[in-house]
Amino acid sequence: MPADRRRALLPIALLWAAALPLAQAATQLPPEARQALQRAAIPPEAVAVVVHELGATQPVLDWRADAPMNPASLMKLPTTLAALDRLGPAFTWATPLWLTGALNDGVLDGDLVIQGRGDPKLVVERLWLALRQLRQWGLREIRGDIVLDGRAFAPQPGDPGDFDGERLRPYNALPAALLLNFRSSVVSFVPDVAAGVARVSLDTPLADTRVDATVPLAAAGTPCGDWRAGLKASVEPRRLRWAGSFPAACGERQWPLADAEPASYDARLLRGLWQELGGTLAGRVREGAAPAGRPPTLTLRSPPLAEVVRDINKFSNNVMAQQLLLTLALQALPEGAAGVTAQQARELLAAWLTERTGALDDGVVVDNGSGLSRLSRLPARRLARLLQQAADGPHFGELLASLPISGQDGTLRRSRAPEGRAQLKTGSLRDVSALAGYVLSDTGRRYVFVAMVNHPQAGAARPALDALVQWAVHDAPARALPARPSRPETRPRAPP
C-alpha cells in the first residue's frame, strides 16, 4: 500500500480502535488450566493468577489475585528490582586488600588483610587473579597472617541445613560480608575406562582437605541413572570418600557441594590458592579488622549489578539474592557502617515495596530476599503491579534480560511453554510452584504474567502453569474480548 494511503487511513484506524469496548477481566481459570489442576488433585482455590496486557487499564485474567501467597523464588523479583532502582545496573562491589607491613625482596613483614563488603560473586577465579597480581608484584612470603574482615554484615544465626535439612546443597549457604566461592566446591568425575576408574578432582584447592582421587567404574553397560546415589559418598569435614561406583555411560559429570565445614572454608581456600601460586604463609588465616583510614593496596571490583541480577534470576541463586538484599541495607547506612542485620534488610525491602506499590495491608510478609522461606507472602496483584511499573521504568531492559527464556536457558530451559515466547522467573518449594514475568503473544501483545500455586501437590502443578502460559501466548485473552465493530473498508474499490 502506498505510504500516502497508509497515512490517510491512520485516523480511521485510530477511531476504530477507540470504539472498541473495554474488556472485562476473566474471573475464572481457563478450562485447560482447570483440567490440568484437576489431574494434579489441586483445587483452584490453591491458585492465584494475574494476566495483564502492558498498557491496558485492567487485567484480562484475575483469579484470587489478592490472596497472600508464598511466592518462593518469585521473591527475588522485588529484591532485584529494588537493587536496580536504588543502586543502578552499573553498581559494583569493592573488596579492598591491604599489605600492612614492609615488603622487601618478596617478603611481607606483616599481614595481608581482606575486607568483605558483601560481594555476591567473589568466586575462586577472581580470588586467584587477585592473589596472582600480588605474586606478580613480587610477593612470595607472608610472615604475618591473612586477616579476614567480615564485619560489614552481622553474623548469620543457624546452620545451612536449617531450612530443609540439606546442608550440603549450595543453595542453602548462609550469606556473609566476605563470602568466598559460596563456600562450595564442584567435584568433577571423568571416566578412565582403560584404568577402570573415574578420576575425581575439585575446582578449589582447599588446604587440609582430602578427596579420594578415584572411584571404581560400575559394571559395563550400567546406565547413568542416579549416579550420585551410586557413588555412596561420605562427605565429612575436610574429607570426601566414595564407597560406591560411577557409570562410564555418564561421561564427565560435576557435582556442586557446599562444604561440610563452612566455618573454616575461607581459610582453607585462601591458604590453598596461595600455596598453589607458589606463595608461603608463616602465620595463619584469621578474623580481624581492616586498617582504619588507610587506602587499600589493591581493590577487587565485582561484575556490574546487571550481571549479578542475571545470575540471580536466570539460575535462582539464593545466596546471591541474600547478599544483594543485605548490600542494599548496607548502602543505605552511612559510609563505614557495619553489622547490617537481616532485620534491617527486611525492613528496607518492605519500605521500598510500600513506596512502589502502596501500603502492605494485603498480607505481605518479607522474610528474606531469596524466597527460601516458609513465611514469605506476596499477593499476585501486587507482584503484577510491580512488573507493570518495571516495564515503564529505566531498567526494564536489565530486568527482562535477567529472566529465564522458555525452552532456552536458566530455570526455564526444559519448559514446555512455546520456545522463546515467555521470560519468567520460576519459584519452587516443597508446597509452592510459581511463575512470574512477561509473555509475548502471537499478535505481539506483551502480558505481565503471575501465577502461584500453594498446595501440598504443588510439584505436580507445572502442566497447569504451562497451560496458563500457552493461554496467554496464543492470545486467548484477546479472543475472549467482546466482538469488535466492523472495520471500515480499507481496500481500494474497483472503478465504476
What average pLDDT does this structure show over 77-98? 98
CA atoms within 13 A on the CB side of 295: 2
What average pLDDT does this structure show over 290-316? 97
Q: Which residues contact 477 (CB under 8 A, 6 or more apart)?
A: 23, 26, 51, 53, 60, 61, 441, 445, 447, 471
Higher pLDDT, 12 or 341: 341
| pLDDT at residue 496, as a whole number | 38
pLDDT at residue 485 tops 50: no
| pLDDT at residue 418, as a whole number | 87
How many Cβ atoms from other residues are within 10 Å of residue 390's Cβ?
23
| pLDDT at residue 234, as a whole number | 97
Span 152-171, pLDDT tens digits: 999 988 899 999 999 999 99
CB of 307 within 8 A of CB of 87? no
24 pLDDT band, cuts 50/70/90, is low
| pLDDT at residue 20, as a whole number | 35
What average pLDDT does this structure show over 7-23? 37
Span 399-435, pLDDT tens digits: 999 999 999 999 999 888 889 999 999 999 999 999 9
CB of 145 within 8 A of CB of 286? yes
- Type of residue numbered 215: V
pLDDT at residue 285 tops 50: yes
Of 397, 403, 410, the C-alpha closest to 438 is 403
487 pLDDT band, cuts 50/70/90, is very low
Same fold for the pair 3-89+310-479 and 93-302: no
| pLDDT at residue 426, as a whole number | 98
Q: How far apart are CA 360 and CA 260, in angstroms?
A: 40
| pLDDT at residue 2, as a whole number | 47
**Domain 93-302 classification at class level:** alpha beta
Span 364-396, pLDDT tens digits: 999 999 999 999 999 999 999 999 999 999 999
pTM exceeding 0.85:
yes
pLDDT at residue 247 tops 50: yes
| pLDDT at residue 36, as a whole number | 97
25 pLDDT band, cuts 50/70/90, is low
CB of 446 within 8 A of CB of 439? yes
What average pLDDT does this structure show over 74-86? 98
| pLDDT at residue 417, as a whole number | 85
pLDDT at residue 19 tops 80: no
- Supply the Cα-derived Rg of the chain in whole angstroms: 27
Q: For the ranges 301-310, 407-416, 431-440, which has the lowest average pLDDT?
A: 407-416
pLDDT at residue 290 tops 70: yes
Q: Which residues contact 405 (CB under 8 A, 6 or more apart)?
A: 412, 420, 422, 423
Of 347, 376, 364, the C-alpha closest to 454 is 376
Span 43-79, pLDDT tens digits: 999 999 999 999 999 999 999 999 999 999 999 999 9
pLDDT at residue 6 tops 70: no
Q: What is the mean pLDDT of the chain?
A: 91
* Architecture (CATH level 2) of domain 3-89+310-479: 3-Layer(aba) Sandwich (3.40)
| pLDDT at residue 337, as a whole number | 82
CB of 227 within 8 A of CB of 253? yes
The C-alpha angle 467, 470, 474, rounded to 5 degrees, equals 145
Q: How far apart are CA 304 and CA 320, in angstroms?
A: 13
Span 181-234, pLDDT tens digits: 999 999 999 999 999 999 999 999 999 999 999 999 999 999 999 999 999 999
In the chain, what are the domain boundaries?
Answer: 3-89+310-479, 93-302
Higher pLDDT, 477 or 227: 227
The secondary element (H helix, E strand) that includes residue 326 is helix 318-331
| pLDDT at residue 14, as a whole number | 35
pLDDT at residue 27 tops 80: no
